[in-house]
Amino acid sequence: MSYSVCPIAVCQGPRDGSHFTYRMNFGSITNTACYAWYIMGSNPRILVDTGARAATFRAKGAPETDLISVEEGLARLGLTPADIDIVILTHLHCDHVELGCLFTKAQFIVQKRELEYAHKPHPIDTDLYDKRYFGSLNYKVIDGDTNISPGISILLTPGHTPGGQSVQISTAAGKAIITGFCCTLNTFKQTEEMKRRGWEVTTPLIHHNVLETYDSVLKVKRLADIILPLHAPEFIGKDLIP
């Protein structure tokens, strides 16, 4: 089976570059986006993450602006939230699950360790996990790598959160992977500074375990023909990948 990915960019905003490149690029400004990702050709119909409203980011101090609603994005594909059968949640930070309540007929796939941690997070993480958004969803709980349907599989990629999961999708241009951790394309690009440090990749600044995060970023880089970072601005306005 071969699929395409439809990125629905629901909002965008500036971030300090260090947010996605650990211990580097302090004081630089980069644009970022927040997405829901529809897998075109999937049966059952699959969405990855739900996105969030700009107001949610602004409440946490991030100057985000809305682009389109997830409903508008799906409507451009001839769909409504009620048409989605499965929502794969990369992790349960609020910017990836806030709009889950719209998908009333969907089953939400989440890693066991992610759901358990989200209900009892460490105090340092409490502002990232909001039970209003994830507490009452219809879950299918998995533990580790899992095949979802032919050509679509889940890879456990922890570190940014305890149970982050990336989604590997077969496309006409090879394996596309939607990352299970917050990053941009810069997270994967080796700079001269990184070479001096002996790093092939870097990690996001926000992480649960920086060593696991590094290994997960490297795993995705080595497996993917197309990397789809959760906050990369390059896919704003794109209809299909590839």
The CATH number of residue 124's host domain is 3.60.15.10
Answer yes or no: is 161 within a domain.
Answer: yes
pTM, full prediction = 0.97
CA quadruple 70, 237, 60, 24: dihedral sign: positive
Answer yes or no: is 139 within a domain.
Answer: yes
Answer yes or no: is 240 within a domain.
Answer: no
The pLDDT score that the predictor gives to residue 57 is 86
Query: In this structure, are residues 229 and 185 in contact, taking their beta carbons and an 8 Å threshold?
Result: yes
Answer yes or no: is 126 within a domain.
Answer: yes
Answer yes or no: is 242 within a domain.
Answer: no
Is 239's pLDDT higher than 90?
Answer: yes
Is 242's pLDDT higher than 90?
Answer: yes
Answer yes or no: is 241 within a domain.
Answer: no
Total domains in the chain come to: 1
8-53 confidence digits (pLDDT tens): 999 999 999 999 999 999 999 999 999 999 999 999 999 999 999 9
Domain that holds residue 202: 4-235
